[in-house]
Amino acid sequence: MCYEIFSKPSFFRLLQRIDQEIATAAQAAGCHCGGALHRAAYPRKPRGVPAGLRDGFLSRLSYCCAVCRKRITPASVRFLGRRVYLGLVLALVSQRAAGAKSPLWQALKIPRRTLERWRRWWREDFRLTPLWQQLRARFMPLVCEHELPDSLRERFEMADLGARLLHWLRLLFPLGTRVLSTAAEV
């Protein structure tokens, strides 16, 4: 199954490198007001990270504009917004086949209510996101929306497990960003 990826530190380091590249590009682009972006990473307590790699996942790359003070948080292949679990965990454990008997679900001690909420998010909320509204027409034949995420994941069946999961996470990574309010508005 896909859970063997959790025994490969190189995959998690690759996710960190991709996030760093995305963040570097966002910083180089600067703020919409023309101001420079300064590093303002914020702490995370992610679940689903192998123990030896936890240090690389304790912060989310983010920036603060030197002029308008807006926070810019680039997209991430590691995190999906403010969720506590890694995006990889959300994608893998939400699958129909990854029910209550899956080794990952049991190892991470994910509450059944959380798992049900994730599955409901895929079937209901994900379908309404602007990302999915743009992407769904690209898949032929059409993805069965009532069977998400399984019907979408099946489109990424490749021989290499890491490549398959990476394509999956790159598809979802725009969901992991949002522009936060300015310091004065908080």
pLDDT digits (tens, 9 = 90+) for 64-94: 999 999 999 998 999 988 888 898 888 888 8
- Under DSSP, is residue 5 helix (H, G, I), strand (E, B) or coil? helix
Q: Tell me, what's the pLDDT at 34?
A: 94
Mean pLDDT, residues 44-52: 88
Tell me which DSSP letter residue 31 carries. Answer: -
The answer, yes or no, to whether residue 186 has pLDDT greater than 60, is no
- Residues of 157-180 as b/e, b for ≥16 C-beta within 10 angstroms? eeeeeeebbbebbebbbebbbeeb
Q: Over the stretch 105-162, which tens digit does the pLDDT of each residue have?
A: 777 888 888 888 888 888 899 999 988 998 888 888 888 888 888 888 888 777 787 8
Note the pLDDT of residue 19: 93
Alpha-carbon dihedral sign for residues 8, 41, 170, 123: positive
Tokens of 10: 């190189």
**Torsion 106-112-117-121 (CA) sign:** positive
Average of per-residue pLDDT across 4-30: 91
Identify the DSSP state of 112: H
How far apart CA 24 and CA 47 sit, in angstroms, is: 25
